[in-house]
């Protein structure tokens, strides 16, 4: 290892330095062959990427490959295992041994890998490699297995050990491993370290002779240097021998603490009470029923489960089960009221308030509990010898048909138990144990196992209540008063013993599943009273767009979906190229220079050849193609029409003689390669959702809650997060926001970058007040989202700044979306910044009569050190712009006649309409009518055609021809040659360097490329500024649908 680093430390550095970046886009054969029910989370992607990097690029790898993934309970280690199986299959591995210490885990994993009917099946319905379906099958040994299949032998560690050293008929033996390369998959891998853990106690002879489980695995693994051993565990023991064994093998670590902080787990709450044992259980039952009712109210399918844990013996568990059933059977209203009276505040009080508010009487509640927790809905699981039916029940608790509500156990549900709908654990005993160590008081083994059980139960139950939410993450940390918060909490019901509570909390903190109490902070922010009394609060609007399903109704041809449709294919030349390994020198020259090119339209390849190639690619089933091209009528149309494959160009490279003699097999190979690449582009070019460009106004006082209570964790990477701005110790960030009427909430607990931004606004306030009124800054306390236009991906801007112009005929209101961003997120979240910049050029206000009174703008990220200047320039451009479409009274536009006041006979007869360039560009790019007229300007006594208009040009790029702020005369596009002319253009490929919009005014020149018939495309369009301080905008291979000349500049008006 470099500089004494362990492997995982070395890879952590490599990841931060972007060394792993080339592997970040996972191969399609991994992504597409996994079940689409599960999305690959970022930490899982990182784990997969590290395996790819280690096997391909890591310079110090040792053979045979032996790596360990140390990942938190519930983080999806089995899903990662499935991903790794797919990758290793691609590398040529066909035989896999899955081993673990528990038969229960084997049953669960078989369902994950083999049972397509299981909701937890991890692979795609059809696993396909190179257009051929691959079977996943269980085997007993590797003799005579199908070498095209994924063959998996499932065994316990003990069973594998026994098979090797006690051979039986058809069992696997050491000889089976000698001529086969095998992948060993070790789950709960810490169990195989018997030998390593006890190494110091054994003599060399004893070490050599010991036939323990670990040695068995090591022996068979080392038979073939091509073997691979991948271990997966949440537990790496703190033992020197274990450290030495794994220091160059741990490839990735993802702790329970990271898992919780990334919001993939429930929040654990300890409910300590003085209730007797059965009353404690009844409290859990009432809380469980509250959860179920909240879920029903919000149309979430949930059946919450309670686990009742006895201390030591099965007899204790059976006794607890019997008493519980008797209690439920004889339940009375008085029993329920007693639980209510014992809780004057907290979650139980909240539950009873919910029952009352939703018309659930005590009598109704008692009746429901008797039914929902009846004897047949309780199950005891205390032995591995329990029936298969019981084992299936406890491992399918989330299934709709499984009505189990309560599980009784002693210690059978620890490792390998996957359950998401466990929300309450009841500790049905009072005693506590401590470590036998005399130095310091530490938690005993029972307490530690209880903490481990809580960790297993803390897996998040996935749900969504609105579009854009991540179903697998907590959503209400910032709004703990939400009634839905109860669906994100696991309650551990315990005795009220301060010493025990301290011990269990200590273990939970140590494991990472809960933060220390001193790190938790409950914060409340409230809209100031002075704000609530303003007209802005009562009548102001917050404009938001919506996420909607992408119907692709405008997709009529290939170029409507895929812009780059030129594919290159190189024919085999039959020549050999010799390259030196270390210096890259080619011995016999670069033969590619001798190749000729044959251009070809894809639909000109014979239909029967294209059809044969197309049938090899699963993607091109007609029902699937229709999802991307709704107007497509048949496969024949796709293959032959100029609108589909006719818009796809293929360039075939080869020696001249080969190109002159291309046969049908060559064409088939060309077509097959092109179809595969085109399928990827079609998939990448479309999304399930889009964000609307229409923004609707929502009453601010209705969408923004007057008060929000949330929980934050302090002491993380950003030391300012969770600290009130009025209480920070940093002089440059401290600000008493209660004294500043423009900040809507009474406090800000945000990050350092958010606090810097608030200070930026404070320093800009004097300048803002010169031009604007109703200046308000609202921090988005998780109350609203906007959606990216291209794919409907949700964005929650941190702030919105509201401004309204003063002293103007038509007061324009601005809504500025702002995202302060830490340096570590600037690149990761770059897509958000790009979307924010798109808003200004594409938004449309709907459902309002005076829609032109509002302007929505997304600004670049704010970062105090790296992006403050860029942000300031964009901010100043917005707030200082003297834009004629605002009605501002500069000299030229001071005498505009409103559209409703001008006579019809005067229109275009001495008077011309005034538009904003943004409105014109947007309207014509989306084939709408002329935008709303700002006003009419008297220009001369002559008559004009109706395609003339006036607009103000802002920016310096066309100086000296057009000075910044000049009123200009334009004529709508009439066709004909545009070369050398100044034009207003709109294109998805344009981003104006000054306005960041998709329209621009530049001097035009183009080169055309002919297609078959009378058709052609622009091979190159150059949009040149007259001011040479600015660069040309160059567009290549532009279709007419993706580029529009809207209008031609005629002259500057004086």
What are 572-600's pLDDT values in tens digits?
Answer: 766 655 444 334 344 444 455 578 899 99
Would you say 868 and 850 are in contact if contact means Cβ atoms under 8 Å apart? no
- CA dist., res. 1010 & res. 608, Å (int): 27
Of the candidates 789, 810, 770, 783, the one whose C-alpha atom is nearest the C-alpha of residue 858 is 789
Contact predicate 44/80, CB 8 Å: yes
Amino acid 657: pLDDT:
87
Average pLDDT over every residue of 430-443: 53
Predicted pLDDT of residue 163 = 67
Tokens of 878: 């917005």
Q: What local confidence, expressed as pLDDT, does residue 436 receive?
A: 47
DSSP state of 508: H
The CATH class, in words, for 263-514 is: alpha beta
Pairing state between β 909-914 and 854-858: unpaired
Looking at residue 437, its pLDDT comes to 46
Which helix H or strand E contains 345, and what residues bound it? none
> Which tens digits make up the pLDDT trace of 656-670?
888 988 999 999 999
> Quick one: pLDDT at residue 98?
93
pLDDT at 588: 46
Given this chain, do its domains 2-233 and 263-514 carry the same CATH topology?
yes
Q: Tell me the per-residue pLDDT of 870-897, one tens digit each, with 9 for 90 and over.
A: 999 889 888 876 444 443 435 677 788 8
Top-confidence residue, 224 or 882: 224
Residue of 57, 70, 52 lying closest to 6 (CA atoms): 70
Tell me the pLDDT band of 734, cut-offs 50, 70 and 90. Answer: very high
Backbone angles phi, psi at 289, to 5 degrees: -70, -35
Over 80: is that where the pLDDT of 356 sits? yes
Beta strands 982-987 and 95-100, pairing class? unpaired
In the structure, what pLDDT confidence band is assigned to residue 212 with cuts at 50, 70 and 90?
Answer: low
Cis peptide before 337 (omega within 30 of 0): no
Please say if the pLDDT value at position 394 is more than 80: no
Instruction: Give the β-pairing of 305-309 and 422-427.
Output: parallel
Of 31, 99, 101, 41, the closest CA to residue 71 belongs to: 41
Pairing type for strands 1016-1024 and 1033-1038 reads antiparallel
CATH superfamily ID and name for 2-233 = P-loop containing nucleotide triphosphate hydrolases (3.40.50.300)
Instruction: State residue 889's pLDDT score.
Output: 38
pLDDT tens, 270-323?
988 888 889 999 999 999 999 999 999 999 999 999 998 887 788 888 888 899
CB-based contact 163:172 (threshold 8 Å): yes
Lowest mean pLDDT among 365-374, 422-431, 879-888, 924-933: 879-888
Map out the domains of the chain as residue ranges: 2-233, 263-514, 558-686, 698-830+843-880, 904-1052
Q: Tokens 């320093």 map to which residue?
A: 763
Q: How confident is the model at residue 380 (pLDDT cuts 50, 70, 90)?
A: confident
**CA–CA separation, 609 and 444 (whole Å):** 72
Three-class SS state of 492: strand
pLDDT in the model for residue 20:
92
For residue 929, name the pLDDT band (cuts at 50, 70, 90): low
Residue 813's φ and ψ, nearest 5 degrees, are: -105, 130
As a whole number of angstroms, the distance between CA 687 and CA 1041 comes to 20
pLDDT at residue 882, rounded to an integer: 43
Q: 527, 817, 818: which is closest to 701 by C-alpha?
A: 527
Between CA 726 and CA 525 the distance in angstroms is 13
Per-residue 3-state assignment (H helix, E strand, C coil) for 79-138: HHHHHHHHHHHHCCCCEEEEEECCHHHHHHHHHHHHCCCCCCCCECCCEEECCEEECEEE
pLDDT for the residue numbered 584: 39
Torsion of CA 461, 462, 466, 467, to 10 degrees: 170
Kindly report the length of the chain.
1054
Most confident of 194-208, 216-230, 793-807: 793-807
Whether the predicted pLDDT of 209 surpasses 80: no
Q: What's this model's pTM, rounded to 2 decimal places? A: 0.69
Higher pLDDT, residue 440 or 702: 702
What is the percent of the chain where pLDDT is above 90? Answer: 46
- Least confident range from 315-319, 348-352, 427-431, 436-440: namely 436-440
Q: In angstroms, rounded to a whole number, what is the distance separating the alpha carbons of residues 302 and 304?
A: 6
pLDDT at 213: 57
Residue 651 clears pLDDT 70, i.e. is over it: yes
Question: Helices 362-372 and 333-341: crossing angle, nearest 10°?
Answer: 110
| Highest mean pLDDT pick, 204-213, 408-417, 488-497, 760-769 | 760-769
pLDDT at 350: 92
- Sequence-distant (≥ 6) Cβ neighbours of residue 1054 within 8 angstroms: none
Pair 818, 859: CB distance under 8 Å: yes
Name residue 1010's beta-bridge partners.
Answer: 1016
Query: Mind listing the pLDDT tens digit for each residue in 45-94?
Result: 999 999 999 999 999 888 999 999 999 888 889 999 999 999 999 999 99
Helices 664-684, 607-614: axis angle to 10 degrees equals 50
Contact 283, 425 (CB under 8 A): no
Fold designation for 904-1052: Umud Fragment, subunit A (2.10.109)
Question: Residue 327: enclosing H or E segment and its boundaries?
Answer: helix 314-329
The model's confidence at residue 501, banded by pLDDT at 50, 70 and 90, is confident
Q: Would you place residue 5 in the very low, low, confident or very high pLDDT band (cuts 50, 70, 90)?
A: confident
Sheet holding 772-779, edge to edge: 772-779, 799-805, 813-818, 854-858
**What pLDDT, on a 0 to 100 scale, did the predictor assign at position 103?**
78
Query: 632 pLDDT exceeds 80?
Result: yes
Distance of CA 305 to CAs 292, 460, 504, 1028, Å? Answer: 10, 13, 22, 70
More confident residue, 240 or 182: 182
Q: Could you read off the pLDDT of 952-985 as tens digits, one per residue?
A: 888 889 999 998 888 999 999 888 888 899 999 8
User: Regarding predicted confidence, which is higher, 197 or 945?
Assistant: 945
Percent of the chain surpassing pLDDT 70: 86
Does 542 have pLDDT greater than 50? Answer: yes
Q: How far apart are CA 814 and CA 835, in angstroms?
A: 18
What is the per-residue pLDDT across 833-870, written as a single tens digit (0 to 9) for each? Answer: 999 998 987 888 887 656 668 889 999 999 999 999 99
Which pLDDT does position 1020 carry in this prediction?
85
Q: Would the pLDDT of 642 be above 80? A: yes
Return the exposure string of 654-678: e unless at least 16 CB atoms fall within 10 Å of the residue's CB, then b. Answer: bbeebbeebeeebbbbbbbbbbbeb
Which of 164-173, 426-435, 528-537 is least confident? 164-173
Distances (CA, A) of 222 to 19, 181, 216, 217, 461: 30, 11, 10, 9, 42
In this predicted structure, which of 10-24, 695-709, 820-834, 870-884 has the lowest mean pLDDT?
870-884
| Cα separation, 115 vs 93, whole angstroms | 22
Q: How far apart are alpha carbons 893 and 914 in whole angstroms?
A: 9
**Residues 124, 125, 126: CA angle, nearest 5 degrees:** 85
């Amino acid at each position: 290892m470099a500089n004494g680093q362990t492997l995982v430390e070395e890879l952590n550095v490599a990841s931060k330095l972007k060394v792993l970046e080339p592997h970040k886009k996972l191969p399609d054969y991994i992504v597409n062959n996994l079940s689409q029910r599960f999305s690959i989370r970022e930490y899982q992607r990182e784990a997969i990427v590290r395996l790819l990097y280690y096997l391909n690029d890591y310079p110090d790898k040792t053979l045979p490959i032996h790596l360990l993934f140390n990942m938190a309970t519930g983080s999806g280690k089995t899903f990662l295992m499935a991903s790794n199986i797919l990758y290793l299959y691609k590398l040529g591995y066909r035989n896999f041994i899955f081993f673990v210490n528990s038969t229960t885990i084997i049953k669960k994993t078989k369902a994950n890998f083999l049972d397509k009917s299981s909701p937890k099946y991890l692979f795609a319905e059809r696993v396909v490699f190179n257009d051929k379906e691959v079977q996943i099958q269980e085997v007993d040994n590797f003799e005579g297995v199908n070498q095209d299949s994924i063959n998996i032998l499932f065994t316990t560690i003990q069973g594998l050990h026994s098979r090797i050293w006690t051979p039986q008929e058809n069992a696997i033996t050491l000889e089976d491993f000698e001529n086969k390369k095998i992948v060993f998959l070790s789950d709960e891998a810490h169990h195989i370290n018997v030998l390593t853990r006890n190494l110091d106690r054994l003599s060399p002879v004893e070490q050599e002779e010991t036939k323990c489980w670990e040695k068995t695995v090591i022996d068979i693994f080392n038979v073939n240097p091509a073997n691979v051993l991948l271990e997966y565990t949440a537990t790496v023991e703190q033992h020197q021998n274990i450290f030495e064994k794994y220091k160059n093998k741990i490839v990735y670590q993802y702790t329970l603490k990271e898992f919780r902080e990334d919001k993939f787990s429930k929040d654990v709450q300890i409910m300590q009470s003085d209730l007797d044992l059965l009353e404690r259980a009844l409290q859990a039952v009432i809380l469980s029923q509250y959860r179920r009712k909240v879920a029903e109210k919000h149309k979430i399918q949930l059946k919450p489960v309670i686990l009742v844990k006895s201390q030591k013996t099965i007899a204790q568990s059976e006794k607890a089960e019997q008493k519980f059933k008797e209690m439920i059977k004889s339940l009375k209203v008085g029993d329920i009221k007693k639980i209510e009276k014992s809780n004057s505040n907290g979650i139980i009080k909240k539950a009873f308030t919910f029952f009352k508010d939703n018309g659930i009487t005590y009598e109704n509640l008692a009746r429901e509990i008797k039914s929902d927790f009846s004897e047949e809905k309780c199950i005891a699981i205390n032995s591995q010898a329990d029936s298969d039916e019981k084992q299936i029940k406890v491992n399918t608790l989330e299934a709709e048909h499984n009505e189990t509500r309560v599980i009784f156990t002693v210690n059978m549900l620890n490792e390998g138990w996957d359950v998401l709908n466990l929300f309450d654990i009841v500790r049905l005993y009072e005693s506590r144990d401590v470590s036998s160590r005399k130095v310091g008081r530490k938690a005993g083994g029972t307490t530690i196992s209880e903490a481990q059980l809580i960790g297993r139960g803390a897996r998040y139950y996935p749900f969504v209540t609105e579009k854009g939410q991540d179903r697998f993450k907590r959503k209400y940390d910032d709004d703990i008063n939400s009634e839905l918060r109860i669906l994100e909490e696991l309650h551990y019901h315990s005795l009220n013993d301060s010493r025990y509570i301290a011990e269990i909390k200590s273990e939970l903190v140590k494991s990472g599943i809960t933060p220390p109490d001193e790190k938790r902070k409950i914060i409340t922010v409230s809209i100031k009273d002075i704000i609530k009394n303003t007209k802005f609060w009562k009548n102001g609007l917050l404009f938001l767009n919506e996420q909607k399903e992408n119907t692709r109704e405008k997709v009529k041809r290939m170029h409507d979906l895929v812009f780059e449709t030129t594919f290159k294919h190189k024919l085999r030349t039959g020549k050999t190229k010799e390259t030196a390994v270390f210096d890259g020198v080619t011995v016999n020259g670069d033969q590619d220079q001798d190749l000729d090119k044959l251009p070809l339209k894809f639909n000109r390849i014979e239909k029967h050849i294209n059809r044969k190639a197309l049938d090899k690619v699963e993607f091109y089933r007609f029902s699937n193609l229709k999802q991307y091209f709704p107007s497509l009528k048949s496969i024949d149309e796709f293959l032959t029409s100029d609108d589909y494959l006719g818009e796809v160009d293929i360039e075939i490279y080869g020696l001249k003689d080969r190109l002159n003699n291309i046969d049908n097999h060559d064409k088939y190979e060309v077509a097959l390669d092109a179809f595969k690449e085109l399928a990827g582009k079609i998939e990448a070019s479309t999304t399930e959702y889009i964000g609307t460009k229409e923004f609707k106004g929502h009453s601010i006082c209705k969408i923004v809650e007057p008060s929000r209570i949330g929980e934050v964790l302090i002491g993380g990477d950003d030391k300012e997060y969770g600290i009130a701005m009025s209480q920070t110790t940093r002089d440059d960030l401290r600000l008493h926001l209660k004294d500043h009427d423009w900040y809507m909430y009474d406090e800000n607990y945000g990050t350092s970058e958010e606090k810097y931004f608030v200070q930026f606004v404070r320093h800009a306030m004097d300048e803002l007040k010169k031009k604007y009124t109703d200046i308000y800054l609202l921090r988005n306390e998780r109350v609203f989202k906007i959606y990216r236009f291209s794919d409907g991906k949700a964005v929650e801007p941190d702030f919105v700044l509201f401004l309204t112009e003063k002293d103007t005929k038509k007061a324009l209101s601005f809504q500025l979306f702002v995202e302060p961003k830490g340096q570590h997120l600037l690149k990761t979240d770059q897509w958000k910044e790009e979307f924010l910049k798109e808003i200004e050029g594409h938004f449309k206000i709907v459902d309002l009569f005076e829609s032109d009174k509002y302007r929505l703008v997304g600004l670049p990220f704010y970062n105090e050190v790296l992006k403050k200047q860029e942000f300031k320039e964009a901010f100043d451009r917005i707030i200082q712009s003297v834009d004629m479409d605002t009605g501002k009274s500069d000299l030229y536009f001071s005498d505009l006649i409103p559209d409703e006041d001008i006579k019809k006979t005067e229109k275009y007869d001495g008077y011309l309409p005034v538009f904003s360039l943004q409105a014109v560009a947007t309207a014509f790019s989306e084939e709408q009518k002329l935008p709303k007229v700002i006003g009419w300007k008297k220009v001369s006594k002559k008559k004009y055609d109706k395609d003339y208009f006036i607009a103000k040009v802002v920016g310096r790029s066309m100086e000296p021809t057009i000075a910044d702020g000049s009123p200009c005369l334009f004529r709508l596009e009439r066709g004909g040659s545009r070369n050398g002319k100044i034009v207003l253009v709109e294109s998805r490929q344009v981003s104006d360097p000054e306005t960041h919009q998709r329209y621009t005014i530049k001097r035009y020149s183009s080169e055309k490329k002919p297609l078959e018939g009378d058709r052609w495309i622009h091979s190159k369009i150059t949009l040149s500024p007259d001011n040479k301080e600015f660069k040309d905008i160059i567009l290549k291979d532009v279709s007419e649908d993706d580029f529009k000349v809207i209008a031609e500049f005629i002259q500057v008006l004086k």
